[in-house]
Amino acid sequence: MKQEWFTILDIAMLSILLGVSTLIKSRIPLMRRFPIPIPVIAGFLGLIVGQEALGLISFDHVRLENMVYHLMSIGFIALSLKSKDKMKNSGYGRSGMFIVSTYAIQGILGFGLSLLFVNTLWPDLFPPIGLLLPLGYGQGPGQAYATGNTWEGLGFLHGGNAGLTFAAMGYVWACIGGVPLILFLTRKKHLTHADQAYGREGLFDIDKVSELPHKESIDGLTLQFILIGGIYLLTYLTLLGLTAVLNQLGTFGQTLAQLFWGFAFIIGALYGALVRSILDRLKNGSVMKQEYTSNYLLERVSGVAFDYMITAAIAVISISLLADIWLPMLIICTLGGILTFWYCIVVCRKIFPEETLENTLAMYGMLTGTISTGLALLREVDPHFQSGAARNLVFGSGTGLAFGLPMMLLLNLPTLGYKSNQPVFYLYALIGLVIYLLFLLALLGIFKRKKPVA
């Protein structure tokens, strides 16, 4: 078979898995009632029929893992190019802080457990492995894979696959844990659906394709890919330049350069936001007469990228490659799921006194999976997105980027400590995570005492 066909066949197989999963979701009543996104079904279906189980199809791990890496960057660049909603809402800020605080508490648990395991039962375990918990559960398969794959250069065998496994376990917790969470909140805590109706319009800030200029002899979708492709090329050149500079700094610089490659999607998103700002200025200054971006088309590009990314991320998981470390990973994932379940119930009741049920379900679904799983759980109690929970989820993820920057720095401290053989960095990372968690909880007002009723 000719080499150039391999990637096309991978895409074709993923398309078939998504198509079959769509039929399963639409035709089987039990699956329609269960809040599982179609790409997640497709991913696990690929895992079952793949070489790890039935052996009916065979995916190349390297190709699919690379696909996950690049699709994540494409999706984030597309989202960053969208024109922004101008509304200001303090709820979005609270949502962003809550999301990042969950990353912090997941990081504390995961990293704490991995250090415990390294010093007791599994001395050969890669010490920072527990930090894949907030990356896999909180940020999804793309970032978990990118980080784990970067760690392979530091000696963590099959680190990328380990990251994907953490993310897949997160989906299991999101989908299976969501149903008992709904029952618990509605029956035990006596929480009910919101009475207010905010309307769904504007949730994704979708504009019309007709807003693109018709005079140009080029398709509107092509225009979006021109921008995305140019930004991705700029991202690649930036990473090449950073690597050339950092490699001059010795071992520390080389380690830092490897970490930057794992965060290509962040650099791409920053460039996307910069281009979006430039386009807005050109349009407001009457330099650019037409609007060449379309939120509708950019939303579709990111949606397709993330659907295929999730499917590929789960389908490519190899349990056999992780046979030596599956038990500590299972312990971390299980305790991480329980902690996230409890944390969402306790904290969401305090920061979302109204629409607590909707916000708790949405946040739990996202913080064990992705936004799609959060919206899937939300539909179970708010099928028409009448509450404000969907907006808190979508726009809170955006505000969470700002609060998440210190987290990304803290998550990289253990890697530097491992590479330089200075375990004291592990302690710095744990202390930093605890301090940042307390800081975010203080901003959220968790420690404020309720005023006595007069």
Q: For the segment 329-368, what is each residue's pLDDT rounded down to a tens digit? A: 999 999 999 999 999 989 988 888 887 888 888 899 889 8
Q: Is the Cβ–Cβ distance between 282 and 450 less than 8 Å?
A: no
Instruction: Return d(Cα 430, Cα 413) in angstroms, integer.
Output: 9
Dihedral of the alpha carbons of 177, 183, 184, 186, in degrees to the nearest 10 = 140
**8 vs 34, residue with greater confidence:** 8
Q: Is the Cβ–Cβ distance between 61 and 50 less than 8 Å?
A: no
pLDDT at 89: 52
Give residues with Cβ within 8 angstroms of 201, minimum separation 6.
none
Residue 310 lies in a domain: no
- Average pLDDT for 148-167: 84
Residue 127 lies in a domain: yes
pLDDT at 206: 44
* Percent of all residues in the chain with a pLDDT value above 70, rounded to a whole number: 82
pLDDT at 450: 57
Instruction: Return d(Cα 205, Cα 296) in angstroms, integer.
Output: 8
Residue 378 lies in a domain: yes
Residue 128 lies in a domain: yes
Residue 60 lies in a domain: no
Instruction: Return d(Cα 17, Cα 304) in angstroms, integer.
Output: 14
Look-up: residue for tokens 């999101």? Answer: 174
The confidence band for 50, taking pLDDT boundaries of 50, 70 and 90, is confident
The confidence band for 108, taking pLDDT boundaries of 50, 70 and 90, is very high
Q: pLDDT at residue 88 above 60?
A: no
Cα three-residue angle 246-410-314, rounded to 5 degrees: 90
* Predicted confidence (pLDDT) per residue in 250-281, tens digit: 766 776 676 677 678 778 888 988 998 898 88
Dihedral of the alpha carbons of 237, 243, 244, 249, in degrees to the nearest 10 = 160
Residue 421 lies in a domain: yes
Instruction: Return d(Cα 159, Cα 136) in angstroms, integer.
Output: 12
**Domain extent for 418:** 88-301+316-443
What is residue 449's DSSP assignment?
Answer: P
Cα three-residue angle 341-146-258, rounded to 5 degrees: 130
* Predicted confidence (pLDDT) per residue in 298-307, tens digit: 888 888 888 8
pLDDT at 110: 93
Q: Is the Cβ–Cβ distance between 35 and 175 less than 8 Å?
A: yes
Number of domains composing the chain:
1
Using only C-alpha atoms, what is the Rg of the chain?
22
pLDDT at 330: 92
Residue 32 lies in a domain: no
Q: Other C-beta atoms within 10 Å of 347: how many?
A: 19
Q: Is the Cβ–Cβ distance between 297 and 220 less than 8 Å?
A: yes
Residue 71 lies in a domain: no
